Chains A and B, each alone.
Chain A
Amino acid sequence: MSENTNIAVIGGGPGGYAAAFLAADLGMTVTLIDPELNPGGVCLYRGCIPSKALLHVAKLLEESHQAKDWGIEYAAPKIDLARLRSWKEGVVNKLTGGLGILSKQRKVSYVRGRAAFENSATLRVSKSDGSEESLSFDRIVIATGSRPAIIPTLKLDTPRMMDSTGALNLEDIPGSLLVVGGGYIGLELGSVYAALGTRVTVVEMLSGLLPGADRDLVLPLHKRLEKMFDRILLNTTVTSVKDEGNGIRARFEGADVKEPEKMFDRVLVSVGRKPNSEIPGLHKTRVQVGQRGFIQVNKQLQTDDPAIYAIGDVVGEPMLAHKASHEGRVAVEAIAGHKVAFEPNAIPAVVFTDPEVAWCGLTETQAQKENREIKVAKFPWAASGRAVTLDRPDGMTKLLIDPQTERVLGVGIVGAGAGELIAEGVLAVEMAALARDVAMTIHPHPTLSETVMESAEVFYGTSTHIYRPKRG
């Protein structure tokens, strides 16, 4: 494609706007289509960003309780919900407004509306002002993202039933909250409400929280959440919900269920997300939608229709903003004619609970499934000076290492600030660092990042802060 490629991006989330901005930087004519006032998508408006703002507050509240142990006692906090909401909204507006400006500076034509396909090269845009327009493009990038999945049996037309969007609106602080689904969204939002004073019950169908994550990473979180939440019910399903006016009656089913039904002020359904691949007119193109509704793409993010690319949640798991942004950039580079492919060695995943759980690259679960021989080197945070000063020794850092080459294949961290620490792990995996490289890199003292270095030292049996008797 030449420089004056005319490209459209449908969807202004982190994947879509990253794609649009890069396309503009590469000299293309760019149209970004999204119903919101500014770019940002679910991540900024109804996802990562507002939830992190609230989790920051939750953390402060939790620490204020813990401060008693350190000799500082606070009175019970007064929570001004309206103020909290407007602060959260201020964060969102500041960031999305910034994206709007970045968009203008790049001369991206931002069209507020929804797009439908007329054919592989033409979109019919229904604009927010009520007008309609057909626009033609050389290439189209679909970045329509995903939405909360719905369980039909748990559908009630009452504000007491919430999905993640509703929960983030923070209309009140309910006395009790049922969280259906023990994945990262349920645990993060459940933590927010618990910190604000709500009695939270989490129900997970499978045998553990955060299905898919290594169990040793989940354990410290589970322990802490058990204290923070009213109850965590595993191997349990919610079979029905009933609006009884003054609350919602939920029925449970499962081996460990002692109370088969219970009343809740509110219910949050967080059972995953579904790709937004039902784009009007998509059948007029050659785009193929696979099972579970994901649009099929190749490594260049190109769909079965050569003029159409797709990125982000709508093309597959993991549905993460940073994966979408990277894909968006790869797709645009591919359109620009560069020989590129989406081929990361590590996509980090972070759960922003307290403690945070983060991992990247190979997991132990996956290695077991593949019957792959690996060595795991773990460093418990009780041996970290920094963790102890924070009164947070409930963490652990581990490296998954190839025994032949000593290459770092995966990193897992649980503990306060794990989300920030994992970045070093991602870099190590992407750069094909050996455990020795990590061990020989000087890390600043006293920080939690030392746990990464020391876990590499554990691999060689020479960790400074862990004594391991010589074998034999």
Chain B
Amino acid sequence: MIEFKLPELGENIEQGDLVRLMVAPGASVSTGQSVMELETDKAVVEVPSSVSGTVQEIRVKEGDKIKVGQVIFTVDGAEAKGSSKAPASAAAPAQVQEKPAQQKPTEGASAPAPTAAPSPATAPQTATPPAVSSASGAGEFKLPELGENISQGDLVRLMVFPGAKVSEGQPVMELETDKAVVEVPSSIAGVVKEVKVKEGEKIKVGQVIFTLEGGPATPAETTSVRNAPVEHVSGQHGARLAFQAAIRAEGKTEEQALPPDQPQRPGAPEFSMPAQLGKVAGTEHRQPIPASPHVRRLAREVGVDIYEVKGSGPGGRISEDDVKAYAKGLLSAAASAVQTPRAGHFAQPQLPDFGKWGKIERVSMRGVRRKTAEHLAESWNTIPHVTQHDRADITELEQLRARFAPKAEEAGGKMTVTAIALKVCAAALKVFPQFNASIDIEKEEIVYKQYISIGVAADTDRGLLVPVIRDVEKKNIVELAVELSQLSKKARDKKLTPADMEGGTFTITNLGGIGGVGFTPIVNFPEVAILGLSRSRMEPEWINGKFEPRLILPLSLSYDHRLIDGADAARFLRWVAEAFEQPFLLSVQG
């Protein structure tokens, strides 16, 4: 009989009110399945089960206050997830006494998949996988290459935990690199055995992220996993799963409490080498630091890594004062960092207690949303924005577009207004190079770029992403249409790499698909201009003494007024509008 206990839910959350119970005695639960909704001080969270089996007894009821560690329900038979050791050691204690050295191999060989059922019927089934599992047992997922010059990133969010099933292509973590927050998809499928990283860590390319349990849970489930379309984990459902996983994963790391002192735990699939045997348990191999025990403890208490402190005493001995001075230095550095208006980190007035007026839910703003917030705030704070509006008559262009659409489709793209806008803007940027520039305030220089790479804002499940199309001026509209389609798909499939999103010199954002008559986009720093497109509509135009129905595309150009004067912006936008109106101009001037 296995108990499911309320796992750690996050920092400082020790209990919660049980809002909704989603299991009943007799129900079967599987690892990762949501079993209850818990209201904590911070949010209502769905709590996923960490065990599989048939629910025997429920020990709580709705409305109860539940503490971390409290038993929620018991399940029959099947093993708790992640504890593949349980059956092995249950079977082995007698052997363990005599031959501890054999314990690991025993474990490795017989470690059943988490859902390996106890019923004799499934026994033969589970008997076969180990052969497979020992082959794939050493399955490790390592951080893949993320892009040029990106060798590492900060782990923002971990979406897997021991016992979780992962499939190929499923996002398993969010990594913040210098350039972007990226979701990293798994390249392997199976059941996670051990997660070797934790949130907040810096992770290097090639570093092992997690290891897989011996092979697939059951043959049947493997196929179902394989067949599952990737779309299955996208959208709301995916976000929710990821959210639960994140909570679970956070709880896990909190629980482990191994950080910040996590000793090198022997890797799950490997055996620890006898070389380690003589080591004092729990100590890592660092040379003893020249500081008295009391000073070392003080450092620990104030959160200073004593190995970072420079000792002022003889032989580099670190005194109490050294630690205090170092801590003070850290504090003032942190304080001054807070004072400088850093993007997204403005001191904002304290929030009222929204809960007073109704129920609220708090959700982590990590990941793309935070990155977006920081980046846009930085742009907004750095750049004096002005927005110029204009309208382009695209009646003729629309006919052309319709005519050439099949051609683009043949090539695998879609002839959209955005694709055409790419070509138009590339031509305009050649004529007006200051729109394809950046300002280097420190050196008091303007950086003119000799290439034209245009970012296209994409609205995705995860938020705003801006993939960049390179060397736009060298490509024709069909090529641009194809590339744009590919990038959009990549964005939707969460396959964009930071390299796909860097190096832009100008940005286009098209909200026309949704509607609107105009807006003021924010310049994508360090670029200096951005073109917004709204919905084109039929409008009466006064032409040759009468109104004619014309298809009008509203254009909004935001620009950095430090570099670009209003008249230049008006000229640039007029040029763009005319290019839309007379596509012929492109071939002449563009």
Taking a contact as CB atoms under 8 Å apart, the answer to whether B280 and A434 are in contact is: no
> Is the pair B261, A292 in contact by a Cβ cutoff of 8 Å?
no
Assembled-state Cα–Cα distance A345/B90 (Å): 38
Contact B281 A432 (CB under 8 A): no
Q: A306-B257, A338-B301 are in contact. Are A294 and B291 (CB under 8 A)?
A: no
Question: A330-344 interface mask toward B, CB cutoff 8 Å, 1 = contact, 0 = none?
Answer: 000000001111111
In the complex formed, the residue of B with least CB distance to A344 is B293
Query: Is there contact, CB below 8 Å, between A347 and B280?
Result: yes
Bound-state Cα–Cα, A32 to B289, Å: 35
Cβ contacts A14-51/B at 8 Å (1 or 0 each): 00000000000000000000000000000000000000
For the complex, what is the distance from the CA of A361 to the CA of B279, rounded to whole Å?
13
Q: Do A283 and B255 contact each other (CB < 8 Å), given the known contacts A291-B101, A307-B69, A407-B315? A: no
B46 in the interface (beta carbon within 8 A): no
Q: Is the CB of B296 within 8 A of A278?
A: no
Taking a contact as CB atoms under 8 Å apart, the answer to whether B281 and A315 are in contact is yes
Which residues of chain B in 268-322 are interfacial with respect to chain A, using CB atoms and an 8 Å cutoff? Answer: 271-272, 274, 277-284, 288-293, 296-297, 300-301, 303, 313-318
Q: How far is the CB of B449 from chain A (nearest CB, A)?
A: 51
Per-position contact with A for B258-271: 1 when CB-CB < 8 Å, else 0? 10011101100001
A106 to B388, CA, bound (A): 79
Contact with A along B82-117 (1 / 0, CB 8 A): 110110011001001110110110000000000000
CA distance A283 to B107 in the complex (A): 12
Whether A290 lies near B266 (C-beta < 8 A) is yes
Tell me which of B85, B266, B297, B315 has the highest count of chain A C-beta atoms within 10 A of its own C-beta: B315
Q: Is the CB of A430 within 8 A of B301?
A: no
CA distance A274 to B89 in the complex (A): 18
Please tell me if A253 contacts chain B, counting CB pairs below 8 Å.
Answer: no
Contact at A406–B83, with CB atoms within 8 Å? no
Contact with B along A344-361 (1 / 0, CB 8 A): 111100000000000001
B256–A291 contact, CB under 8 A?
no
A400-424 CB contacts (< 8 Å) to partner B? 402, 405-407, 409
- The winner among A283, A315, A409, A434 for most chain B CB atoms within 10 A is A283
Q: Which of B96, B98, B258 contacts A298 (CB 8 A)?
A: B258
Contact of A288 among B8, B85, B90, B279 (CB under 8 A): B85
User: Which residue of chain A lies nearest to B262 when distances are taken between CB atoms in the complex?
Assistant: A298
> Is A262 among interface residues, defined by CB-CB distance under 8 A?
no
Question: B3 an interface residue at 8 Å Cβ cutoff?
Answer: yes
A374-406 residues with Cβ-Cβ distance < 8 A to B are 402, 405-406
Give every chain A residue within 8 A of B262 (Cβ-Cβ).
298
Which residues of chain B come closer than 8 Å to A283, judged between CB atoms? 85-86, 89-90, 93
CB neighbours of A175 from chain B (8 A):
none
* Complex contact A409–B89 (CB within 8 A): no
Beta-carbon contact of A289 and B288 below 8 Å = no
Q: Are the C-beta atoms of B292 and A432 separated by less than 8 Å?
A: yes
Q: Do A120 and B296 contact each other (CB < 8 Å), given the known contacts A283-B90, A299-B261, A429-B288?
A: no
A405-B290, A432-B290 known; A291-B300 Cβ under 8 A: no
**Chain A contacts of B93 at CB under 8 A?**
278, 283
Contact of B283 among A278, A302, A342 (CB under 8 A): A342
Q: Nearest chain A CB to B75's CB is how many angstroms away?
A: 13
Contacts of A288 in B (CB 8 A): 85
Interface size class of B (residues with CB under 8 A): 35 or more
A91–B280 CA distance with the chains assembled, in angstroms:
31
Known: A286-B83, A340-B297, A434-B315. A316 touches B280 (CB 8 A): yes
A304: chain B residues within 8 A (beta carbon): 256
**Contacts of B97 on A, CB cut-off 8 Å?**
278
A98 within 8 A of B: no
Task: State the Cβ distance, A403 to closest chain B Cβ, in Å.
Answer: 11
Question: A316 touching B272 by the CB < 8 A rule?
Answer: no
A162 to B266, CA, bound (A): 36
Contact partners of B284 in chain A: CB under 8 A: 299
Assuming the contacts A339-B303, A342-B283, A407-B290, asked whether A284 and B8 have C-beta atoms less than 8 A apart, the reply is no
User: Is A405 within 8 A of B288, CB to CB?
Assistant: no
Residues of A within 8 A of B71 (CB): 119
What interface size band does chain A fall in? 35 or more
Which residue from chain A places its CB closest to the CB of B97 in the assembled complex? A278
Contacts of A302 in B (CB 8 A): 257-258
Residues on A with beta carbons closer than 8 Å to the beta carbon of B255: 306
Q: When the two chains form their complex, are residues B290 and A298 in contact, meaning their CB atoms are under 8 A apart? A: no
Given A299-B283, A315-B282, A317-B280, A290-B257 contact (CB < 8 Å): no
B419 to chain A, nearest CB (A): 55
State whether B263 touches A292 (Cβ < 8 A). Answer: no
> CA of A313 to CA of B188 in the docked complex: distance in angstroms?
40
From A278, A316, A406, A409, B282 is in contact (CB under 8 Å) with: A316
Nearest CB of chain B from residue A122's CB, rounded to whole Å: 9
Nearest Cβ on chain A to B161's Cβ, whole angstroms = 13
What is the minimal beta-carbon distance from A170 to any residue of chain B, in angstroms? Answer: 29
Annotate A271-284 by CB proximity to B: 1 below 8 A, 0 otherwise. 00010001000111
CB within 8 Å of A: which B51-102 residues: 69, 71, 82-83, 85-86, 89-90, 93, 96-98, 100-101
| Bound-state Cα–Cα, A449 to B281, Å | 32
A120 to B6, CA, bound (A): 12
Residues A405 and B316 in contact, CB atoms below 8 Å apart = yes
Knowing A290-B272, A436-B314, say if A278 contacts B96 (CB, 8 Å): yes
Pairwise interchain contact A342-B303, C-beta atoms closer than 8 A: no
- With CB as the reference atom, state the residue of chain B lying closest to A409: B288
| Cα(A121)–Cα(B293), bound, Å | 33
Question: Which residues in B have their C-beta under 8 angstroms from that of A323?
Answer: 280
Distance to closest chain B CB from A428 (angstroms) = 11
Q: Which of A117-137 contact B (CB under 8 A)?
A: 119-121
- Does A282 contact B89, Cβ atoms closer than 8 Å? yes
Closest to B278 in A: A317
Closest 6 CB pairs of A and B: A316-B281, A405-B315, A432-B290, A345-B288, A299-B261, A283-B89
- Would you list 19 pairs from A and B whose C-beta atoms are within 8 A, ordered by A residue? A278-B97, A289-B96, A290-B266, A290-B272, A291-B272, A296-B265, A298-B257, A298-B261, A298-B282, A306-B257, A323-B280, A339-B301, A341-B261, A406-B314, A406-B315, A407-B316, A429-B288, A430-B293, A434-B314
Chain B residues close to A by CB (< 8 Å): 3, 5, 8, 69, 71, 82-83, 85-86, 89-90, 93, 96-98, 100-101, 103-104, 255-258, 261-263, 265-266, 271-272, 274, 277-284, 288-293, 296-297, 300-301, 303, 313-318
8 additional A-B pairs beyond A316-B279, A317-B281, beta carbons within 8 Å, are A119-B3, A119-B71, A293-B103, A339-B300, A340-B300, A361-B288, A432-B313, A434-B314
